[in-house]
Amino acid sequence: MTDGFHLVVDALKLNGIDTIYGLAGIPITDLARLAQAEGIRFVGFRHEQSAGNAAAIAGYLTRKPGICLTVSAPGFLNGLVATANATTNGFPMIQISGSSDRQIVDLQQGDYEELDQLNAAKPYTKAAFRVIDADIGEKSLVHVVDPTPRQIPAAESIQRALDLLASAQRPLIILGKGAAYAQADADIRSFIEKTGIPFLPMSMAKGLLPDNHPQSAAAARSLVLAQADVVMLIGARLNWLLGHGKAPQWSPTASFIQVDISPTEIDSNRPIAAPIVGDIGSAVSALLTTLKPGSIRPSAAWLKAIADRKQHNAESMAARLSRNPNPMDFYSALRAIRDVLRNKPDVYVVNEGANTLDFGRNIIDMQEPRKRLDSGTWGVMGIGMGYAIGAAVTSGKPVVAIEGDSAFGFCGMEIETICRYELPVVIVVFNNGGIYRGDDVNHSGGADPSPTILMKGARYDKLIEAFGGTGHHVTDPQGLAQALTDALASGKPAIINCVIDPTAGTESGHLQSLNPTSQIGSGRK
C-alpha cells in the first residue's frame, strides 16, 4: 500500500531528481514536506509562474526535466504559463499539480479549486496525464534507462548536407538554443572551425563558441542573412526570430540545411534542401566523421565582405559605446556591465525587457555555452527571477539578471525567495520609468499616466533591503561598475537600481515593425 505523496517522491528519487520548485498549499503541502524529509530539495516560491520558470531553465541547463509542484486550479494555471513557455522553447519540464476530488470535478459540483486540469494542460504540453490510484501507479514505477535516446540521422542525409555545403560560395551556419541544449559543444566548434564557415548564434546560443571568435558573423547579421547562398540551421527554427526564413531578410534563392530532432520542423516555412533529422550531438558527430578535409571552402570574397561589414559595424558600435550621456543610455550602462563581466565567464546572464533585452544581447558578449538565459521564443516577460533562481540553484554560480523595469515587475516578489535561499543573484533594473520609454503621454489630456508609463523615480534598490539584501542606486557608468563589482564580490543578493534616460529607448525595442500601424491621432472617432 502506498499513497499519492509517496508515489511522487518515489518516482522522482528513482529517476535521480533532486530538486522541486514549487509553492505549497492544499492539497500538496505534505507532499512538499515529505519530499524534503526524503532528501529532495524543495525551493518554495512566491508565485507558481516563477517556480515553473525555474524548473524549466533547470531542465534546459541539466538536460533532466525540472519539476514544478503546484496546487489545484489557480496555482496549476499560474504554473501552466511557465509550462507552456517551456514547451514552446523545448525545455524539459514536468509540472506536477494537486487536484481537488475528481468525481466532484467531473460532475461539476463546485469543489474547492475545481478545474479540469488534464484537459487544460493538454494543448500546452507534450503530454498530460492523470493519476488516480496510488497503488496502481506504484506498479508502473520505473527507472528510465535512457530518457533521451540518441536519434541517429540517416547517413545519406549527412552526405547530402555536406555536398550542398561543398557547392556553396557563401555558406552560413546558424546556431539555435537547441544546439546549446545538446551539449555537443566541442563537436560543434570543431565542425565550424574545420569548415571555416561563418556562424551566427541565436540569442541563447551565444557563447557556444565565444562571441569574439573570428568566425562569428553576429556583427554582420543583416548582410549574412540577405546574402548567404547555403544556410545550415543547427537547432534553430525558422520562426519569427529569423523572419520565417523569407525575403526581404533572406535571399529568395538560398538553399537550407536543417539539423533538428523534430521532423515537423522541416519545410515548415521554407523548403529545406537537405534535412538532417536526428539529435544534434549525433548529427554533428556524423558530419564531422564524414567531412573530407578541404571539401568545404567559403569563398574569399564572402569572408572579406563579412569582415568588412563587421569592422564597419564594430566601429559604429564602439563610437556609441564610448559616449557618456547624462543620464545614462542603454549603451553606456551596458558598457559598464560588459566590462565588469568580461573576466567573469562563469557568471550566468539573465536578460529580459524590450530595449534592455535587445541592447543587452548585442552588447554583452558571452564566452561560455548556456550562460545566457533570456525571453526566448515567445519574447516573454516575467522569466527573469525564475531563470535566475533556477540557474543559481542548479549551478551554485553567480547570476546577473539584467532587467527592464517593466520586465522585473512581472516577477519581482521573488527577490524574497532569492534572499531566503541566500542565492548569489544580482539584479540590475534598467529604470527608464516605463515600458520601452518613460516619456509617453496620455492622449486624452487626462491625469492618468499613459499605458506604458511606470512610476517616475522608483527606487527598486529599496525593495530588497526589506529582505536583508543590498540595494544600490546608480546614475553613472562608474557607479554601476562599482556596485556590480561589489555585489558580485559579496556573493549575496543585491538589486542595482540603474537610472536610464527615459527618452533613450524605442517603442518595442527592435521589434517596432511587429506593431500594427498606430491609430493615435488618425482622427477616427
Ligand X SMILES: Cc1ncc(C[n+]2csc(CCOP(=O)(O)OP(=O)(O)O)c2C)c(N)n1
The footprint of ligand X (CB under 6 A) covers 353-356, 379-382, 404-407, 430, 432, 434-436, 505, 509
**Cα–Cα nearest to 314, from 209, 196, 221:** 221
Question: Which segments of 15-63 does DSSP mark as H helices, in order?
Answer: 29-37, 48-62
Q: Are 282 and 261 in contact (CB under 8 A)?
A: no
Residue closer to ligand X (CB basis): 82 or 162: 82
Residue closer to Mg ion (CB basis): 218 or 381: 381
Residue closer to ligand X (CB basis): 153 or 505: 505
282 binds Mg ion (CB under 5 A): no
- In whole angstroms, give the CA distance from residue 273 to residue 270: 9
Q: Which of 137, 298, 404, 471 binds Mg ion (CB under 5 A)?
A: 404
Min. distance of Cβ 502 from Mg ion in angstroms? Answer: 9
Tell the residue number behind the cell numbers 565582405, with chain if given. Answer: 305
Residue closer to ligand X (CB basis): 185 or 352: 352
Min. distance of Cβ 196 from ligand X in angstroms? Answer: 37
Min. distance of Cβ 438 from ligand X in angstroms? Answer: 8
Q: Which helix (H) or strand (E) holds 340?
A: helix 330-341
Min. distance of Cβ 515 from ligand X in angstroms? Answer: 11
471 binds Mg ion (CB under 5 A): no
Residue closer to ligand X (CB basis): 112 or 378: 378
Choose the contact partner of 469 out of ligand X, Mg ion, none; CB within 5 to 8 A by kind: none
Question: What single letter denotes the amino acid at residue 214?
Answer: P
Strand order in the sheet with 199-201: 199-201, 171-175, 230-234, 255-260, 274-277
**Cα–Cα nearest to 371, from 29, 84, 60:** 60
Choose the contact partner of 25 out of Mg ion, ligand X, none; CB within 5 to 8 A by kind: none
Min. distance of Cβ 452 from ligand X in angstroms? Answer: 8
Instruction: Give the residue nearest to ligand X (CB).
Output: 404
Q: Are 120 and 74 in contact (CB under 8 A)?
A: no
Min. distance of Cβ 427 from ligand X in angstroms? Answer: 13
Query: What are the φ/ψ torsions at residue 232 (nearest 5 degrees)?
Result: -105, 115
Residue closer to Mg ion (CB basis): 79 or 404: 404
Show contacts with Mg ion in window 325-354 (CB under 5 A).
none
Choose the contact partner of 381 out of ligand X, Mg ion, none; CB within 5 to 8 A by kind: ligand X
Min. distance of Cβ 7 from ligand X in angstroms? Answer: 34
* Residue 333: all three cell numbers together: 550602462
- In whole angstroms, give the CA distance from residue 303 to residue 197: 9
Choose the contact partner of 66 out of ligand X, Mg ion, none; CB within 5 to 8 A by kind: none
Cis upstream peptide for 74 (omega within 30°): no
Min. distance of Cβ 405 from ligand X in angstroms? Answer: 4
The stretch among 6-14, 74-82, 254-262, 399-407 that binds Mg ion (CB under 5 A) is 399-407
* Residue 455: all three cell numbers together: 512610476
Q: How far is CA 279 from CA 166, 184, 263, 363, 394, in A?
A: 23, 10, 11, 31, 24
Q: Which of 358, 365, 405, 414 binds Mg ion (CB under 5 A)?
A: 405
Residue closer to ligand X (CB basis): 220 or 429: 429
Q: How many of the other CB atoms lie within 10 Å of CB of 287?
A: 26
**Cα–Cα nearest to 341, from 406, 415, 388, 401:** 401
- In whole angstroms, give the CA distance from residue 308 to residue 297: 19
432 binds Mg ion (CB under 5 A): yes
Site residues for Mg ion per CB under 5 A: 404-406, 432
